Amino acid sequence: MTDIRDNAVVQGATCPIPISQYPNILLAHGGGGTLTHQLIEKMLLPEFRNQLLEPLHDGAILSVNGMKLAFSTDSYVVNPIFFPGGNIGELAINGTVNDLAMCGATPLFLSAAFIIEEGFSMEELWKVVRAMHTASLHAGVQLVTGDTKVVERGKGDHIFITTSGIGVIQSEVNINPRRASVGDNIIINGPIGSHGIAIMSVREGLEFTSPVISDTAPLNGLVTSMLTVCRDIHVMRDPTRGGVASALNEIAASANVGIMIDENSIPVPPEVRGACEILGLDPLYIANEGKLLAFIPPEHAENVLKAMRQHPLGKESVIIGEVVSTHPGLVVMKSRIGGTRIVDMISGEQLPRIC
């Protein structure tokens, strides 16, 4: 570990991240893994620490005049901006809708800010805008405010979009990463890895026997179905950057609990598994844009699972593991051959700019 005396001085204060180790930002700092969390926990969180930010949820849970609200924001820099199954426009709508849904909120209103590079095709911009319009209608949200900026040619990369959103949470709903409890069943709503591999297939010019299509979708309807049968869902998280492995590690650390998952239970499409084997990737770390992880008290797990399977986005929902009292803060996986291994948070970057 680098001595703190090696740290840089930034604006009169000592930089908390050793610059002799990382003197510049890497792509991996945006990958949702170890370096992302180091950046957040060592530099950003200490400067902005407050009670609402502290849980590091998918959104902030606010109380305003007796109403319980969720507020979230996200930026989208996906490359390429058009990919099998979607484009940056619908991704920007679905991503923020899903962050609000993971708080147990009904998403209502969004904002959108566009940074557009000079020379970007007006026809392609129109396709992105139309995709956002369609996605908003599908998710049942309204885009009510926004901003547009243009940067010089070569100073951007076609288009970046930032969306923020507000939703309402029912008073009895309390979804929080710190609520993961021993005995909770962990459910995922379908096969993993499609979004990341869809992006990679276009970016690298890869062709597969069966095309890999992004799973981008708004999950608020599915979440409503789940909350209808169980108000006491403990945790929900959409495993985007860093995939299922990083999401589970975040929750295990937040609640200081152990997590045990079963490799045989984790659904991976054959084409995704094949692509990962060719590319040397692990499906557990591949980004998803239409999947959620839910931590459900064991007495409610079957009812929630049944409700999920009746929804179009939850037909393939399965239980993949549980929360355990052993190895707090760690995620452990039972392998196909019967052994176990620790599933750590990814330290580098498998697939940059996937959302």
DSSP lists the bridge partners of residue 29 as: none
Three-state DSSP state, 187: strand
Say whether pLDDT at 8 is over 60: no
90: nearest Cα among 130, 144, 117: 130
Say whether pLDDT at 273 is over 70: yes
pLDDT classification of 16: cutoffs 50, 70, 90: low
Instruction: Pick the more confident residue, 225 or 209.
Output: 225
Q: Decide if 256 contacts 332 (C-beta within 8 A).
A: no
Instruction: Pick the more confident residue, 37 or 222.
Output: 222
pLDDT at 179: 97
Say whether pLDDT at 14 is over 80: no
Structure tokens at 182: 């021993």
Q: Decide if 199 contacts 80 (C-beta within 8 A).
A: yes
Say whether pLDDT at 17 is over 70: no
What are the structural domain ranges in the chain?
4-46, 62-169, 177-342
pLDDT at 7: 41
Please identify which residue in the block is written with the tokens 């040397």.
280
Three-state DSSP state, 143: strand
pLDDT classification of 55: cutoffs 50, 70, 90: confident
Say whether pLDDT at 212 is over 80: yes
CATH number of 62-169: 3.30.1330.10
pLDDT at 9: 40
User: Mean per-residue pLDDT for 284-294?
Assistant: 97
DSSP lists the bridge partners of residue 148 as: 114
- What tens digit of pLDDT does each residue of 101-118 get? 999 999 999 999 999 999
Q: Above pLDDT 90, what percent of the chain?
A: 76
Instruction: Pick the more confident residue, 292 or 22.
Output: 292
Structure tokens at 240: 């985007």
- Which of 41-50, 99-108, 202-211 is least confident? 202-211
| Interatomic CA distance for residues 134 and 215, integer angstroms | 16
Cβ neighbours of 81 (radius 10 Å): 22
Instruction: Pick the more confident residue, 253 or 11.
Output: 253
324: nearest Cα among 334, 339, 338, 314: 334
Q: 0.85 cut: is pTM over it?
A: yes
Say whether pLDDT at 5 is over 50: no
CATH number of 177-342: 3.90.650.10
pLDDT classification of 290: cutoffs 50, 70, 90: very high
- What tens digit of pLDDT does each residue of 148-202 get? 999 999 999 999 999 999 999 999 999 999 999 999 999 999 999 999 999 998 9
